[in-house]
Chain A
Amino acid sequence: MVPDDERALITAAAGGDDDAFAEIVERYQKPLYNLCYRLLGSHGDAEDASQETFMKAYRALSKYDPERPFISWLLAIAYHRCIDQLRRRRLTWVGLEALFDRPDRRAPSPEVAAEAGDYAEDVQEALSTLSVKDRAVVVLRYWYDYSYDEIAETLSLTNSAVKSRLHRARRELMGVWKIDPVTLTESQNEVSPA
């Protein structure tokens, strides 16, 4: 269910109030950007995809069903936007940016990069081995703590498809993940019967 203040913002934005939608952008930019970044793997692409997602959401506000959580609706748009972007990327042979090896102008600030650190790169590297749909399932499950039903609704999948994708993703992650020995020892100590 959508909270009252959020509902008021959505109603105002649907009536053409840019400031109300700007407030929505302010609230949800981080989870939306994170999903795009996890699916696309680059800050430039994540910025484009999340900006376009908000643009599309703004135009499609009249189609939003208030019975559905607003963030799920936004994440669903972002997911489909990312799929389109990856499809287009596959069709592009060599981008000019890659040709001239230009730095990404929209890379995160040093503070953000430091916060994320090498650790995040490892996570991203492991995620990038998964198919984009499996990746989306993992992100929604472990970053957003979504239930199977919520994942299924957001990604337009069946509940059993979510389970099987998650199962496959776990299997693949176990195959590629570089485990930090300290974390592993801690986990095994927790698992071992006393």
Chain B
Amino acid sequence: MKSRLLDQWPLDDRDLSASDRERLERALEHSPELQEELGVWQAIEASLRESPVIGPQAGFTRRWRSSLAEARERRRQRNVKWLLGALLIGALSALSLIGLEILSSPAQIGAALLETIVRVGQILNTGAHFLTILGNGWPALLGALALSAALAWLSVLWAAAMYRYGFKQVQNGVSG
């Protein structure tokens, strides 16, 4: 639709300067076509302004609260999965590293690690000859059990540290 009015005048009252308004009024006086167009626009504008503000169905805030609770639960579950995954990967990586070090060059690693590795090596050796060890008597089995207990204790310390500095922080982050 070709519009003379729209091409020539801003249609909002707020857009019109006093001199523009005066010019528009003069133009309207001499142009029934322009008057008709302005009438059409004003009818449209009135319809827009009078059109109701549509609100949501009742219970919107309640629905928002339950969406929030669901989102938090999903996030918590996702974080726990990530944490457990990281824990598992960490455990596997540590075991692989120790295993590789043992298999390659145990003499080059640090003293503490060396001791662990040697003991882990003993466990592996013990595991490989489990039946033989059982056959040889309880002292060898006791050594393997002591080493297993030490490793288990280290694992507990590690898991506790992960819980304290990992899981707890994540949980606080979620609830915050």
Contacts and interface: CB of A to CB of B under 8 A. Distances in A.
B57 A109 contact: yes
Interface residues of B, number: 43
A22 B54 contact: no
Interface of A is mostly: helix
A116 interface: yes
Interface of A: 16, 18, 22, 25-26, 29-31, 33-34, 37-38, 43, 46-47, 50-51, 54-55, 58, 106-109, 112, 115-116, 119-120, 122-123, 138, 141-143, 147, 163, 167, 170-171, 173-175, 177, 179-180, 183-184, 186-188, 190-193
Contact of A33 (B37, B43, B60): B60
B176 interface: yes
Interface of B: 1, 3, 6, 10-12, 14, 25, 28-29, 35-49, 51-58, 60-61, 63-65, 67-68, 71, 175-176
B14 to A, nearest CB: 8
B38 to A, nearest CB: 5
B11 A143 contact: no
Contacts of A170: 6, 11, 41, 44
- Among B10, B35, B46, B176, chain A packs the most CB atoms within 10 A around the CB of B46
